[in-house]
Amino acid sequence: MSIMDKKIASPQAGKNAAALSEAKTPSTSGRKAAQTHEIKAPPVPEENALSPLEEKALPPRARRQIPRAPMPEQEPQARSRNFEEVNLGLNVLDAVTEAARCIACAKPRCVVDCPVGVKIKEVVALIRKGDFLGAAAKLREDNSLPAITGRVCPQEKQCEGGCILGQKGAPVAIGNLERFVADYERQSGQLGLPANAPATGKSVAIVGSGPAGLSAAGDLIQKGHRVRVFEALHEVGGVLVYGIPEFRLPKSIVKSEVDNLRRMGVEFETNVVVGKSVTIDELMRDEHYDAVFVATGAGLPQFLNIPGEQLNGVYSANEFLTRVNLMRAYQADEYDEPLYDCRGKDVIVVGGGNTAMDAVRTARRLGARTATLVYRRSEVEMPARAEEVKHARQEGIEFRLLTNPIEFIGDEKGCLTGARCVLMELSEPDASGRRRPVEIKGSEFLLPADVVIIGVGTTANPLVQGSTPGLKTTPRNYIVADPETLRTTKRGVFAGGDIVTGGATVILAMGAGRKAAASIHEFLTTGEW
Ligand SMILES: Cc1cc2nc3c(=O)[nH]c(=O)nc-3n(C[C@H](O)[C@H](O)[C@H](O)COP(=O)(O)OP(=O)(O)OC[C@H]3O[C@@H](n4cnc5c(N)ncnc54)[C@H](O)[C@@H]3O)c2cc1C
Ligand code: SF4
C-alpha cells in the first residue's frame, strides 16, 4: 500500500478517519459518560502508523492539508441538563491522524510555550507511530498529571498558541492528544508505577492536596522520603475536585491519579486544617517532619463590596461550586442534596474567568430558567479557556458583556430580587495589560435575579501564615518564596502553587510542586539552607 492510500496521507484524512471511526463506533453525540473514557479501538493501529521512510515522503505541505480532528462532544441540548463530561475524547484513528499533522519543527515553539517544557514533538511522533504507552511515558517525564492537564490547560495560550500551524490554520490539537494518551494508558491497565529509591529515613509534610501538593508528593516519594499530605477538606485533589465541575474533569480521573500516589506509598490525612488542628511548628517539632511544603492555594473568595451583597440568594462561586462538587448536588438523582435549587430560577454569575464560567454552566445544569454571565469587559479580555466560552454559548448561557452590577436589590424578607447594572466601555489598558472598563453615565438598568453568584477572583488561604512565626508574607498575604528554590523565610519550610503566585493554572501549580520536590530533596540530602 502506498502512503497516499493511507488515511493520514490525504487532505481528506480527518474526514475519512472520522467517517471510518464512525463506522466502527456508535455516534458519540449525546452519549452517556460511561462510554466517554473508553478507547475501544485496537492498541496499535499498524495500518495507520507511518514507517520512518514514509514519514520522510510525507512533505509538510501534505501534513498541513490534513484538517484538525474535531473533539467529539455531547450534544449541547442534552449536556446542558447533565453533569457528564462534555468532551468524549479522540479515538485511535483520529489521534494518529491528528499527530500526522505535526511537521516536527526544528525549533518547536509548542515546547517553549509549555510552562513545564513537555517534549511535545517527541510525544506526538510516538503517537504517530502508534506507540501510545511510549508517548504517555515521555509525557510523564515532565507532566505527572497528563489526563488532568489534557482536559483543563488553556492550550490556546500555551503549547497550541505557539504551534507553527496556528499561523495559517488550526494548530495541532496538542491538548486533545495529551488527553488521549493519558486515557489510553489508564485504560490499558499498563501504567507502570516508577520504583521508589531506598528509604532515606527523612519525612516531609505537605499541606494541601491540590496539583502543587500532589505533584510534589509524587516526586518526593520516589526519592525515598516518607510523605504525608494534610488536607483541610474531606476529599483529596484541591480545586481539581472542589472547584472544576464533573462535566469538565470527572472526579474518577483525579481519584485514579491519587490512587496511584497511594500505591506508591504517599499517605493522605484529610479533615486536618493546618493552622487550626495542628501548626507547622508542631509538625516539625512534635511530629518530627524534616521539611514542610505549603501548597494551600488561593481559595478565599473576593466580593464586589457593593450594597445588597449580604442578601439571601447571593453566593460566592467558590462556595457554590464546592457545595455542588463535594456535597454531590451534581448527582441529584442518587443523592438527596440539591443544596442550591436553581430550578426555574433566574441566575446571574458575575465574572469572566474559569470559575465564573464553571458556575454559570453548573447553574444551567441545576435547572436555572435563565443563566446569565455578567462581565465588565468584552469577550477578548475574558480569562476563561476559549473552549469553555464556546461550550457555554452552545449551552444557552446568555452573555451580558461590558456590564457591571452596582447594587443587588431584595424584598422585605431580605431575599434577592435583582441586580442593578450599568453598561461599560473600554478605555486604555491597565496594569494587567487589559483595557480598563469605564462606566457609561446614565446607562443603569435592572436585571431580575433569584440567585447571584460572584466569581470575580480569589485570594490567599490565610490560616498557615497566621500560625507560623517567621514566615514572611506579601501585603496581600501570599507566602514569600524564592522563585528558584521555593524556600520560604523559615528553615525547612517551602511553599508553591497559588499560595505564592496568586490564582494561576493547574500546570503552573504542578510545575511548582515538582520544583519544590527537587529543592526539598536537595535540602534533605545536604542539610544546607
Ligand atoms: C472553579 C475553578 C476552575 C478552574 N479552572 C481551571 C482550568 O480550567 N485550567 C487551569 O489550568 N486552572 C484552572 N483553575 C485554577 C487552578 O485550579 C489552580 O491554579 C490550581 O488548582 C492551584 O493549585 P494549588 O495546588 O496551588 O492549590 P489548590 O488546588 O487550591 O489546592 C490547595 C489545597 O489546600 C487545601 N488547604 C488550604 N488551606 C489548608 C490548610 N490550612 N490546611 C490543610 N489544607 C489546606 C485546600 O483545601 C486545597 O485542597 C481553576 C480554579 C477554579 C477555582
Ligand atoms: S509547533 Fe506544532 S508543528 Fe511544530 S513541533 Fe510543535 S506541535 Fe508540531
The CA 10 to ligand 2 mean position distance, Å, reads 19
d(CA 11, CA 3) in angstroms, rounded, equals 12
Is residue 55 pLDDT above 70, yes or no? no
For residue 109 and ligand 2, the question of a CB distance below 6 A is answered with yes
State residue 8's pLDDT score.
35
Average pLDDT taken over every residue of the chain: 88
Q: How far apart are the first and last CA of the chain?
A: 63
DSSP string of 249-303, one letter each residue: S-HHHHHHHHHHHHHHT-EEE-S--BTTTB-HHHHHHTS--SEEEE-----EEP-
pLDDT number for residue 240: 97
Which pairing describes strands 291-294 and 435-439: parallel, antiparallel, or unpaired?
Answer: unpaired
Among all ligands shown, which has an atom nearest to the Cα of 124?
A: 2
Q: How many CB atoms lie within 10 A of CB 129?
A: 21
The answer, yes or no, to whether any atom of ligand 2 lies below 6 A from the CB of 102, is: yes
Distance 239 CA to ligand 2 centre (A): 30
Q: Which of 191-205, 270-284, 454-468, 501-515 has the lowest mean pLDDT?
A: 191-205
What local confidence, expressed as pLDDT, does residue 22 receive? Answer: 34
Q: What is the DSSP secondary-structure string of 48-113?
A: TSPPHHHHHHS-HHHHHHSPPPPPPB--HHHHTT--S-SB----HHHHHHHHTT----SS-HHHHT
Is 281's pLDDT higher than 60?
A: yes
Q: What is the pLDDT of residues 316-355, one digit of tens each?
A: 999 999 989 887 766 666 776 556 788 899 999 999 999 9
DSSP-derived letter for residue 414 is S
The proportion of the chain whose per-residue pLDDT surpasses 90, expressed as a percent, equals 78
Which secondary-structure segment (H or E) carries 422?
strand 416-429
Tell me the per-residue pLDDT of 142-163, one tens digit each, with 9 for 90 and over: 888 999 999 999 999 999 999 9
The residue whose CA is least distant from atom 15 of ligand 1 is: 505
Residue in 448, 458, 447, 422 with CA at minimum distance from that of residue 437? 422
Are 395 and 387 contacting, i.e. CB atoms less than 8 angstroms apart? Answer: no
**Residue corresponding to grid cell 505549603:** 294
Residue 295 in contact with ligand 2 by CB distance below 6 A: no
Find the ligand nearest to 164 CA.
2
- Which backbone phi and psi does 400 adopt, to 5 degrees? -105, 90
228: β partners: 205, 267
Q: Which residue's CA is the nearest one to ligand 2's atom 2? A: 163
Interstrand relation of 300-301 and 458-459 (parallel, antiparallel or unpaired): antiparallel
d(CA 408, CA 423): 16
Measured in Å, residue 44 CA sits from the centre of ligand 2 at: 23
The CB of 105 under 6 Å from ligand 2? The reply is yes
pLDDT tens digits for range 175-221: 999 999 999 999 998 876 788 999 999 999 999 999 999 999 999 99
If one residue of 64, 68, 101, 105 were mutated to test the ligand 2 pocket, choosing by the most ligand atoms within 8 A of its CB, it would be 105
Q: Is 97 in the pocket of ligand 1 (CB under 6 A)?
A: no
Task: Quote the Cα angle for 73-77-82, to 5°.
Answer: 75
Q: Which residues pair with 409 in a beta bridge?
A: 418
Is the Cβ atom of 389 under 6 angstroms away from ligand 1? Answer: no
